[in-house]
Structure 1
Amino acid sequence: MNRHRTRLDQYRDSDGYVIEEKQADYDEARISTAFEASDHLDNVLDRLADLVGPPAPRAFTLTFAGSERHDGQAPTSFVVNAINLDDAARVLATLPGFLDWYLADAAACDHGVDIVHVPEQSHPGVPAPGRYVDLLPEQGASAAPAGIGTTSTPPPAAAPSLPPSLSR
């Protein structure tokens, strides 16, 4: 930090303002020091991650709209425990509650082509009670964070080929 400040100070006057004729050099020095600082921060974060270990799984919501959207119904949100959204998609694709919903909807259309992921409604955390299908119990009691319970009945059953967005 002091090294960067010293490097930038050569382009400033005694009041700390950038000297007008040295503005281009100052901007170039700022950019290169910002890259150095960013690289250093990446190294620090990597080292901290090594020391702390992988993040603990937490609740994620993934939302899909099936054929029900053509009738004006809201899409269906599923809550699972995962490390991030990509991991949540992998977990979701293995759970019977999701697969049953998917297959039931896919049977009503051409092999699930009508089922779409709604990324703007997929996020870390849990939506309002009653607005999602809680699949945490399917992952096992140890995967469910404290205070999260089933707020919706799992959808009906059938048998799948997953949407491309979940076939990772």
Structure 2
Amino acid sequence: MSIWWSLHLRREAASVPLARRLLLGTMETAGVDPDICYDLSVALSEACANAVEHGGAGPHGGTSEAYRVTAYLDGEKCRIEVADSGPGFPVGRSRPAVRPACPDAENGRGLCLIHELADHVHIGNTPGRGGAVVSFDKILKWKKGAPLAVV
């Protein structure tokens, strides 16, 4: 059995914990190891916070008030994708540079954290529409007797 869900959320700070709680609830119910749940929930929170902060003005003007979160749990791994309709990442770069933030900075750690917490990360733009897309995978570990565990 696998689980898949997609949310369209308003670009408001209150949407970040909503997405995080839904992911945590899904993974805990399915029987995913608590450490994996925590890592993925932090990574999702960072990706959502970036969409809320940067996903506004689109490439053709106007503003977008929403972003999309999609999660797949399927036996061995979880894949999460966060997409916004903002300007996306600068064209001409395959992906934005991921570098540690200054120790006293109040922001700028999100993409670096996602890279540390996930097994595979893809950062880019939505083809044809503009907007940034951050997707990441993590190999799952299961609690004993978990309903979705790979046998």
**Range into which the TM-score falls when normalised by the shorter chain:** under 0.3
Query: Normalising by structure 1, what TM-score?
Result: 0.23
Higher relative contact order (CA 8 A, sep 6+): 2
Name the one with the larger helix percent.
Answer: 1
Name the one with the larger strand percent.
Answer: 2
Query: Normalising by structure 2, what TM-score?
Result: 0.25
Q: Which has the larger radius of gyration?
A: 1
